[in-house]
Chains A and B, each alone.
Chain A
Amino acid sequence: MRRNLVIGAALSFVVLMAAVVSLAWTPYDHSVLNIPNRMQLPSFEHWLGTDHFGRDIASMIMVGARTSISVALIAVGIGLIVGVPLGLIAAAYDGSMLDELIMRANDLIFAFPSLIIAILITAVLGPSAVNAIIAIGIFNIPVFARVTRGGALALWEQDFILAARVAGKSTLQISCEHILPNVANLLLVQGTIQFSLGILAEAGLSYVGLGAQPPTPSWGRMLADAQTMVGLAPHLALIPGIAIILSVLGLNQFGDGLRDVLDPKLRKS
C-alpha cells in the first residue's frame, strides 16, 4: 500500500473528524470566557491549554477546523462548478474564438492572487468569511478550467471520441458522457491540492482580518490573537499553526498518493 496515501488519508480524516465531532460535542464551549483561568498550558482538564480569555484551545481548534474546511471546500466547489464547464467548452471548440476568449479570461483571473481579490471584495463589502470563500473560489476557477481543458484536449484526439461522433452524438453529449468521466481523476487530484491551498489561504486571510470575523473561531485569527502574546504563551501560536500544517500536509500527501494510484503511467514505474 502507498505510504503517502495512507498517511495523507489518516491526517485528513483526523482533521475532518475534529470538525464533524465539533458539531455535536467539544470538550468545552469554545466561546465561554474564563479570565481567571487564562493562558494555561496543556493539562488534563484543558488538553491544549487555554487562551488569553481562558477559552479552551482544543475546542476552538475543533470549531476552527469546521471554518477552514467549509471555506476551502465551498471554494473548491465554486472552482469546479464554474471552471470545469469552461474548460470543457474551450476544449470542445479548440482554437475557436470562444476557446481564445475563455483562456484569455483565465489568464486575467490568474493575474489576481486570492489575497488581492479578497482585498478588493473587502474594500467594497466589508470583511466576512463569505468574502474569503468568494476570493478563494474565484482563484480556483482558472485552475480547474486549465486542468479540464488540458485533459479534455488529449481525449478529443482519441478514437473512441471519433466513434461517438460517428454514432451521431453531439458535442455537448460527448463532453458530458465521455470527456467528463475521463477527466474526473485529474479533477479529483487537483481538487485535493486546491483544498489544501484553500486552507492555507483561509488562514492567511483571516489572519490579516479579511476572513472569518469574531466570534467565529478560525485558525488564522487564533494566530493573529496570539501574536502579541507569543513571548508569554508560545503555545497559543504553536497549536493553531500545527493544526494548519498537519491539515495541509495531510491533504498534500493524500493528493500525491491519489495521483500515483490513479495515473496508470506512474503506477508501472
Chain B
Amino acid sequence: MLLYLIKRLVSLGCSLVAASLVIFLVIEVAPGDPAQFMLGVNAEPETVAALKSELGLDVPKWTRYFNWISGMLVGDFGTSYTYRTPVIEMILDRLAVSLPLAGYALLLSTLIAFPAGVIAASRHGRLGDAAVMVATQFGIAIPNFWFAMILVLIFAVNLPFFSAGGFVGWDKGFWAGVHSLTLPAIALALPQAAILARVMRSSLLEILNQDFMRTARAKGLSQRQTLWRHGLRNALIPVLTIIGLQFSFLIAGGIIIEQVFFLPGLGRLVFQAISSRDLIVVEAVVMLLVFVVIVVNFLVDLAYAIADPRLRHRT
C-alpha cells in the first residue's frame, strides 16, 4: 500500500506540474503587454518599465514560471492587473459561493439518484424501471442552464418562492444563503443525478446477479433484505467513483449556472477577467479548477484502492 501511495503521489505531482506548464504557456502566448494595457497606450516607456518590474514581468519566462509556481504554493497568486488587489483574496471571496453551490448540488444529485437507482434496479424490467430510465434520458439531454431558466420562470417569476438571481451573502445568515443557492443547485444537480442514477442502477443490477446474492436469498432473506444488506454496499464502489469524477463537472457546470443566476462566483470572476484582459486572474482560476479536478481524481483512485485491494498491484 505504501509503495502504491508513493507511486500515485509522484504521478499526482507530475500531472500538476504538466498542467501548470500548459496553462502558463498558453497564457504566455496571449498578445499584449499587461503593463502597457494597465497604463494605456499613452503611458511613458519608463512608467511601463517600472510597472513591469513591480509586477515581476521583466524577468525571463522560466523565472516567471517558477515565481508563479512557488508563489501559489504559499498562497500567493499574484496581483490582479485591473483591481490591483491580491488574486487570492478575489478567489477566496468567490469560492465562498462556488464551493457551497457545488457541494449543495452534489448532495441533491445523490439524494435524487440513490432512490431512483434502487427503485429502477429492484423493479428491473417493470414500470418503475422504465419510468426512471426515460427520466434519466431526458435528464442527460436537458442543458442545465436551460433548466435553470425554466426554474426561474416557474419558481421566481410566476410563483414567489425564490428570487430570480443574485446572492444575498452568507452574512445574512446560513439559511438565507442556502435559500438563494437552492434553484441554482437544483439546476446543476439534474444532469448529474441522471448520470448517477443510471450508474447506480447498472451497478446494482450487476450485483443482483452474483452468487452471493443468490446465497443470501437461499438462506431465507427476502428480495428486499438482500438488496439492502448485501447489494447496496457492494454496488456503491463504482457509484462513489462517479460521484468523485462528477465533482469536476459540477465545478465547470457551476460556472455556467452562475451566469444564469448572476451569482458572484468563480465563473463571474473569470468572465469579467477575460473581458478586462486580466489574464493573471484567468490563469489563477483555471489553475485552481484544474488542480481540483486532478486532486479529486487522485482521491477517487486512492479510495478505490482502499476499497478493492486487487487494484493496488495493477500499477
Contacts and interface: CB of A to CB of B under 8 A. Distances in A.
Given A230-B153, A241-B150, A249-B137, A115 B259 contact: no
A203 B270 contact: no
B137 A207 contact: no
Nearest to A124: B30
A119 interface: yes
B30 A223 contact: no
Interface string A206-232: 011100000000000001001100110
Contact of A252 (B140, B249, B252, B270): B140
Nearest to A121: B26
Contact of B256 (A104, A111, A207, A237): A207
Contact of A245 (B142, B153, B267): B142
A253 B137 CA distance: 9
B150 A237 contact: yes
B297 A111 contact: yes
B149 to A, nearest CB: 5
Nearest to A107: B15
A14 B255 CA distance: 32
A223 B146 contact: yes
Interface string A106-135: 011001110110011111100000000000
Given A120-B282, A223-B145, A204 B256 contact: yes
A241 B260 CA distance: 14
A203 B140 CA distance: 14
A112 B290 contact: yes
A244 B294 contact: no
Interface stretch (B17-25, B83-91, B167-175): B17-25
A258 interface: no
B149 A200 contact: no
A119 B146 contact: no
Given A116-B289, A204-B256, A248 B145 contact: no
B311 interface: no
Contacts of A104: 11, 14-15
A259 to B, nearest CB: 14
B29 A124 contact: yes
B259 A208 contact: yes
A27 interface: no
A42 interface: no
A181 interface: no
A227 B149 contact: yes
A120 B149 contact: no
Nearest to A256: B137
Nearest to B297: A111
Nearest to A197: B140
Interface in B232-246: none
Contacts of A121: 26
A248 B141 contact: yes
Contacts of A122: 274
Given A108-B18, A119-B270, A120-B23, A252 B286 contact: no
A200 B143 contact: yes
B282 A231 contact: no
Contacts of B146: 203, 223, 237, 240-241, 244-245
A230 B249 contact: no
Contacts of A226: 149
Given A107-B15, A223-B149, A208 B252 contact: no
B96 interface: no
B237 to A, nearest CB: 20
B157 interface: yes
A227 B260 contact: yes
B149 A241 contact: yes
Contacts of A108: 15, 18-19, 22
Given A123-B274, A234-B153, A252-B137, A204 B290 contact: no
A234 B286 CA distance: 35
A234 B289 CA distance: 34
B152 interface: yes
A186 to B, nearest CB: 19
Contacts of B271: 208-209
Interface string B57-85: 00000000000000000000000000000
Please indicate which of the listed interface residues A107, A116, A208, A252 has the most CB atoms of chain B within 10 Å of its own CB: A116
Contact of B255 (A115, A196, A200, A223): A115
A180 to B, nearest CB: 28
Contacts of A241: 142-143, 146, 149-150
B248 interface: yes
A245 B139 CA distance: 9
Contacts of A115: 252, 255-256
A104 B297 CA distance: 14
16 contacts: A104-B14, A120-B23, A123-B273, A123-B279, A124-B26, A124-B29, A124-B31, A204-B145, A227-B149, A227-B260, A230-B149, A230-B153, A231-B157, A241-B143, A244-B146, A253-B137
Nearest 9 interchain pairs by C-beta: A241-B146, A248-B141, A113-B252, A249-B141, A231-B157, A124-B30, A123-B282, A115-B252, A111-B293
Given A116-B289, A119-B270, A237-B153, 14 more contacts: A108-B19, A113-B252, A115-B252, A122-B274, A123-B273, A123-B279, A124-B27, A204-B145, A209-B271, A237-B146, A237-B150, A240-B146, A244-B141, A252-B140
